[in-house]
A and B are shown apart, each in its own frame.
Chain A
Amino acid sequence: MKAHLALSLATASLWHRRKVLALVCLTLTLSVTLLLGIQYLRTEVKQSFTSTISDTDLIIGARSGQLNLLLYTVFHIGDATNNIRWSTFQELKQDTRIDWLIPISLGDSYKGFRVVGTDKGFGEHFRFGRGQPLVLAKGQWFSGVFDVVLGAGVARTLNHSIDDEIVLSHGGGRTSFSNHKDTPFTVTGILEATGTPVDQAVYISLQGMEAMHVGWESGVARPGRTLTPEQAEGREFTPGAITAVFAGLDRKILTFRVQRDLNQYTGEPLSAILPGVALSELWRLMSQFEQALLGITGFVVITSLIGLIAVLLTLQTQRAHEIAILRATGASPGLIASLYLIECLALAVVACLISLGLSAFAISMLGPWVLTNYGIQIQLRPLNLEEWALLTSVPLAALLAALVPAFSAWRQSRSQGFGSPGEM
């Protein structure tokens, strides 16, 4: 009966003071939304990050560390230590355990974006996210030597459309002085946004890659030796070397054996890595930062809880008459104290519920925008255990914080006299 009385009194009291408390509740709501949002984004960004590449069982490159190989093949960060001979690639093709191969040839750039030389297999076999294939938003995959397909980010940033002519640069960097200006490429296709580094690159055929480098053997164009597009038509180009290979296996169970065989390949020193393993290792490196971010947000929540307590303590002086009435009518100091606990807990729960709704709304509204502008895929999903734990910790912390005004009310009401305090 007393619990019921305390609950109904606390509810009525909260409603009575709703104007003041709404502001405190708003502060708490915003900070909880921030906390929940950051935790949610952490999970989503990690998910988005670790699903940068999927269904690829092995990435094969010249001998190097697994992070380095991952960074330059998947994230287009840094440079390859060495190349793989074309003959090695041909030999891999003969391996019956391997289902498909995607050759990757790097080294050039287009206005700061990487140029990736590959073949039709890239469009067919490359998967990201939860096994999603690449989809062309417009046009088609390259068929001619000087055809180029743009990633969504490149097309949006540079405002390119189908049939635009572009000139690729030799080597990396945003401003390159040696351009392949004799061999302009024509945009034949633009990819849909994927939220992965695929968006930030342009794709040409291995033949195109070879054709534009004819006459560039010394690293600069030798006048008269480069090809014109007309000369290139009808010629066969065979690359001498490629940078790396993405491989998919027939039977996943053989992954480790194939990896070991490749690492011990006698033709030349190779490294084969499992992209999933390398990605999680890379994520571990970055998790320091997000931990710090979460910590800061935690402090924001604590700050707003302190604000809540300050307001409750201030309201306590206003409540002196009401406490006097309740005490004189026979309410125990415990009942008075429990009012503060219930009110604080209720405010925190309301704040949590509102911030849940607010977060869900924000994510569903901003998700597509974030994907197209920042290339991060954020979807609405049920909260995981960690996020629930974080969310429930807020009312618990509020309850803990409410002990301050509750204890002070308990102590005051124990020495409460008859009638209003101070006029005894």
Chain B
Amino acid sequence: MNSQSESSAHSSEYVPAALEVKNLTFCWDSQHPPLAFPDLSLPRGEHLFLHGPSGTGKSTFLSLLAGMLPPATGTIRLLGTDIHQLGAGKRDRFRADHIGVIFQQFNLVPYLTALANVTLPCRLSQRRKAATGETPTLAAHELLTALAIPESHWQRKVTRLSIGQQQRIAAARALIGAPEIILADEPTSALDSDNRDRFIDLLLTMAEERNTSVLFVSHDRSLARHFHHQLELGQVPA
């Protein structure tokens, strides 16, 4: 069945979930047992906390969701689109258009300025560029101001900024052009607890303003209170 036609047929009354996962498994190779992932469905604009100790395949799960690894079985629908039915080029474009990402560390392209790192998605996606309304640079200014990055740092090499600033710049990059989904892979693990809570609050508030769903992966269960939903990884038997 063509998932795209289905989603467009219902577009007037039915808003597809930001994220829908069913029967998902993944297999590195025949030597390893397959990894199984829980089913989940996340409505647009709501946030999910995904708890998983290390070794439960958090990064693999995110790779599958981002369309960067093919699943062994099961389906992943992002905004109603089964992304693994798309060709490689279309999958890359879908990611550019609809997904913002924040990594654990090393989030920024080292040879670009803070500002250029933030506007990068707008250069890869026409859709996100158009969604900024004004120019991407102005949108980036707003985001960086809101995330409390001093203006003097905007043109700086990102390698000279603190970890906290780097993670906030990564958040600005994920938020720019209002993508429907943000995938965040332990973005706060390198921050102290004060910074951690402030970062999550800022991220979630700004995501809500843009009707963006945030899927946040962490091993730190204490962060779960910020989110609408939470889920455990690694409890589903293969």
Give chain A's interface residues, CB within 8 Å of chain B.
1-2, 5, 9, 12-13, 15-17, 321-322, 324-333, 414-420, 423-424
Q: Let me know if B111 and A329 touch, CB within 8 A.
A: no
CB of B208 within 8 Å of the partner chain: no
Contact of A418 among B62, B96, B116, B125 (CB under 8 A): B62
Contact of B124 among A321, A329, A333 (CB under 8 A): A329
CB of B75 within 8 Å of the partner chain: no
- Smallest CB–CB gap between B155 and chain A, Å? 13
Residues of B within 8 A of A424 (CB): 59-60, 63, 69
Bound CA–CA A105/B107 (angstroms): 86
Give chain B's interface residues, CB within 8 Å of chain A.
59-60, 62-63, 65-66, 68-69, 88-89, 92-97, 99, 101, 103-104, 106-112, 116, 120-121, 123-126, 173, 183, 185
Q: Let me know if B106 and A321 touch, CB within 8 A.
A: yes
List, sorted by A's number, 29 A–B pairs whose CB atoms are closer than 8 Å. A1-B126, A2-B124, A9-B112, A12-B111, A12-B116, A321-B106, A322-B109, A322-B110, A325-B101, A325-B103, A325-B108, A326-B120, A328-B68, A328-B95, A328-B103, A330-B95, A330-B99, A331-B92, A332-B88, A416-B68, A417-B59, A417-B63, A418-B59, A418-B68, A419-B59, A419-B63, A419-B103, A424-B60, A424-B69
- Smallest CB–CB gap between A234 and chain B, Å? 90
Q: A325-B103, A419-B103 known; 19 other A-B pairs, CB under 8 Å?
A: A1-B123, A5-B124, A9-B109, A15-B111, A321-B106, A322-B109, A322-B110, A325-B107, A326-B120, A327-B68, A328-B68, A328-B101, A328-B103, A330-B95, A331-B92, A331-B96, A418-B59, A423-B59, A424-B63
Bound CA–CA A416/B110 (angstroms): 19
List the 6 closest A-B pairs by CB distance, nearest first. A330-B96, A16-B111, A418-B63, A417-B63, A321-B106, A418-B62
Using CB atoms, name the residue of chain A closest to B112: A12
Residues of B within 8 A of A420 (CB): 103, 106
Secondary structure at chain B's binding surface: helix, strand, loop or mixed? helix
- Smallest CB–CB gap between A411 and chain B, Å? 13
Q: Let me know if B68 and A329 touch, CB within 8 A.
A: no
Residues of B within 8 A of A333 (CB): 88
Bound CA–CA A328/B97 (angstroms): 11
Q: Let me know if B92 and A330 touch, CB within 8 A.
A: yes
Q: Let me know if A330 and B93 touch, CB within 8 A.
A: yes
Q: Let me know if A417 and B60 touch, CB within 8 A.
A: yes
Residues of A within 8 A of B66 (CB): 328, 418
Q: Let me know if B173 and A417 touch, CB within 8 A.
A: no
Residues of A within 8 A of B104 (CB): 419
Using CB atoms, name the residue of chain B closest to A2: B124
Residues of B within 8 A of A332 (CB): 88-89, 92
Bound CA–CA A325/B116 (angstroms): 13
